[in-house]
Amino acid sequence: MMKKIFLIPIIILALSACGGSRTGTMEDSKKVESHKNEKSKDTKEEGGERIKKKFGSFIIPDGWVEAKEQSGHGKYFYVVKGHENDVRPNNISINKGHQNYNLDESEKFAESTTWQLNMQLKQSGIDAVVYGSSGTTDAGDIMYIFDIKFNDSNEIDRQYYILRDKKFVMIYMSNFDNDESVNETAKLMAKSFEWK
């Protein structure tokens, strides 16, 4: 349980190291509220549903739903239907963020994120290893993948970063029991992501 408490600051610090500094304003709050009131134009696709958000769209498979009570402020959580109110369900979140690099400098983004994750794990005394890889979405966008594997449990946290100049979408998977269907759902969301 203590690992999860320490992991939140790790993610926040990793994003700030990549240029994710931003303060909330009343205007930001109004944008969040107006976004909540937008009508959804989600569409069914074979084996799932294309979900449309302000920053882009992605596919979630049948059987997965948005955990609306946990979602907010531009971050959307998805769980297996029926587990919306579990204390610690396997879950996947998606949100948009800002970073300091253009696409032609994407390796610098990956290097700084890897370094920051490793340093925070080490400083927090968390026994985990970070693995990184890269690829592209089905739409051809650059994607970096970071796996955080906790050495004393089956838990795997995975972060997909889909990049554009000075911005990213992060799909963050928390898979507490190493359920392969959760891994596949996160991969589907990331691979199918299309910027708006």
Question: Where residue 157 sits, what CATH number does that domain have?
Answer: 3.40.1000.10
Residue 40 lies in a domain: no
pLDDT of amino acid 40: 54
Residue 155 CB: number of other CB atoms within 10 A?
18
- Average pLDDT over all residues of the chain: 84
pLDDT of amino acid 45: 84
DSSP-derived 3-state class of residue 193: coil
pLDDT of amino acid 146: 97
Beta bridge pairs of residue 156: 149, 175
Residue 118 lies in a domain: yes
In this predicted structure, the answer to whether residue 23 has a pLDDT above a threshold of 60 is: no
Tens of pLDDT, residues 32-67: 443 443 445 688 887 799 999 999 999 999 999 999
Residue 44 lies in a domain: no
Residue 104 lies in a domain: yes
pLDDT of amino acid 46: 77
What does the DSSP assignment read for 97-127? EE-S--GGGHHHHHHHHHHHHHHHHHHHT--
Say how far apart CA 104 and CA 114 lie, in whole Å.
Answer: 18
In this predicted structure, the answer to whether residue 21 has a pLDDT above a threshold of 60 is: no
Residue 99 lies in a domain: yes
In this predicted structure, the answer to whether residue 8 has a pLDDT above a threshold of 80 is: no
Contact 142, 133 (CB under 8 A): no
The two three-digit tokens of residue 56, written as one number: 């882009």
Residue 35 lies in a domain: no
Mean pLDDT of the region 81-110:
96
40 versus 136: which is more confidently predicted? 136
Mean pLDDT of the region 6-25:
39
Domain that holds residue 61: 2-20+50-195
Residue 114 lies in a domain: yes
Residue 27 lies in a domain: no
Instruction: Say how many domains are in the chain.
Output: 1
Mean pLDDT of the region 91-97:
98
pTM above 0.75, yes or no: yes
